[in-house]
Homo-oligomer: A and B are copies of this chain.
Amino acid sequence: MATTLHDVAKLAGVSAKTVSNVVNDYPHIKQATKERVLAAIAELGYRPNLSARGLRSGRSGVISLIIPDLRNSYFAELADAVMHAADQLGLSVLIELSGGDRAREAELLRGARLRAVDGVLYSALHLGDEDLAVVEEVTIPMVLLGERMFNAPNDHVTMRNTEGARAATEHLIALGRTRIVAFGAHRADIVSSASLRLAGYRAALDAAGMVFDPALVREVPVWGRFDGAVAMRAMLDEGVAFDGIVAFNDALALGAMRVLSERGVAMPDEVAVIGFDDIDEGRYSLPSLSTIAPGREQIARTAVSLLIERIAGGVDDVPPRRVYADFELVRRESTATSPVGADSSAADVS
């Protein structure tokens, strides 16, 4: 079998506790002892049994990240950022995929796996304030990501959705666009990224004294490229007139742009497009895609930090914190004033 603490202790001529102290960087150890132990560890190739440590200490050094899927670039890039943040703080990340399925979103919160991790970062698409009971049953530290479940008693990290959508819309208005589509709305009655972004869109129109036209609000329940393409195709077929699109995420925008190109609609001249998320792909599309960058790194770092604080304890009496990451308007060709190709070093490709 694998070597244990005791094997090391025997070889080094010390007690198991001393070896444990060395392994855990306990400060008060005589240098000579430490070196002897370290030598024994190296000689035997000892590596601690994390299950035993976890059982004894109640800590596993692992956190869960629950997200819909990894095929979606936004979540893949978010997961990447979370893993780097966690790694720097000595934590491993166990990813669990809800598949955007409501039942599974709830199920994962109840699963046994959640007893094996120290904390969880949870990003739901469907679970909302009406499911608070499930959320409150979670006994380990949990930090919420995204827009759902605003009333849960947990720390919560999210972007400034409304302000971001407003900035995006104002950007198009400043370009002189008058018929701007809100692309990717959801059912209006629940708080979600979609409803917050729609509110920002409306606020921008109101502030500019523009009329809100419901015909320009396009519902797209799923925010993928495919869904964006289908919805845009339908919109064009219906003959709706528009000269700008605020897409509620980049994937939707990219799907829509593909259809606009097929139909020979010039971007940004005939239709200017801006998305949300700043996924890498948007830098290389044609035209490159203007977007609202949500502050992904900041979200990841903040979420992991808040979670670690809760895991460490000592903040039990601190009420739920809500952190809003800073967004940034990224201007690319899809909302440029000069036509595509005028600047051959376009986008940030160069």
Q: Could you list which residues of chain A lie within 8 angstroms of chain B, going by C-beta atoms?
A: 2, 45, 47-52, 54-55, 60, 62, 69-71, 73, 76-77, 79-80, 83-84, 87, 92-97, 111-116, 137, 139, 225-226, 229-230, 233, 254-255, 258-259, 261-264, 280-281, 283-286, 288, 341, 344, 346-347, 349-350
Given contacts A54-B51, A112-B50, A280-B71, contact A92 B92 (CB under 8 A): no
Decide if B262 touches A112 in the complex (CB within 8 Å). Answer: no
In the assembled complex, the CB of A278 is this many whole angstroms from the nearest CB of chain B, namely: 12
Residues of chain B contacted by A77 (CB below 8 angstroms): 70-71
Which residues of chain B are near A73, meaning CB under 8 Å?
Answer: 73, 76
What are 15 A-B residue pairs whose CB atoms fall within 8 Å in the complex?
A: A2-B139, A45-B137, A47-B111, A49-B55, A49-B116, A54-B54, A55-B55, A79-B95, A83-B97, A93-B95, A225-B280, A254-B284, A258-B285, A258-B288, A262-B286
Bound-complex Cα distance A93 to B92 (A): 11
Cross-chain contact A113 with B139 (CB below 8 angstroms): no
- The residue in chain B whose Cβ has the minimal distance to the Cβ of A112 is B47
Whether A70 contacts B71 by the Cβ 8 Å rule is: no
Distance A50 CA – B73 CA, assembled complex (angstroms): 32
Contact A71 B80 (CB under 8 A): yes
A48 to chain B, nearest CB (A): 6
In whole Å, how far is A225's beta carbon from the nearest beta carbon of chain B?
A: 5
Find out whether the CB atom of B344 lies under 8 angstroms from the CB atom of A262. Answer: yes
Q: Which residues of B contact A95 (CB under 8 A)?
A: 79, 83, 93, 95
For the complex, what is the distance from the CA of A224 to the CA of B92, rounded to whole Å? 26
- Copies of this chain: 2
CA gap between A62 and B95 in the complex, in Å: 11
Report Cα–Cα, A92/B283, bound state, in Å: 34
- Report Cα–Cα, A261/B347, bound state, in Å: 13
Q: How far is it, in angstroms, between the C-alpha of A50 and the C-alpha of B341 when the chains are bound?
A: 58
Contacts A71-B80, A229-B284, A262-B341 aside, 16 further interface pairs with beta carbons under 8 A come to A48-B112, A50-B112, A51-B52, A55-B55, A69-B80, A70-B70, A70-B76, A70-B77, A70-B79, A71-B77, A71-B280, A83-B97, A84-B97, A225-B283, A261-B286, A285-B286
Bound complex: CA of A67 vs CA of B45, how far in Å?
A: 25
- In the assembled complex, the Cα of A48 lies from the Cα of B112 at a distance in Å of 6
Q: Complex Cα distance A80/B76, Å?
A: 9
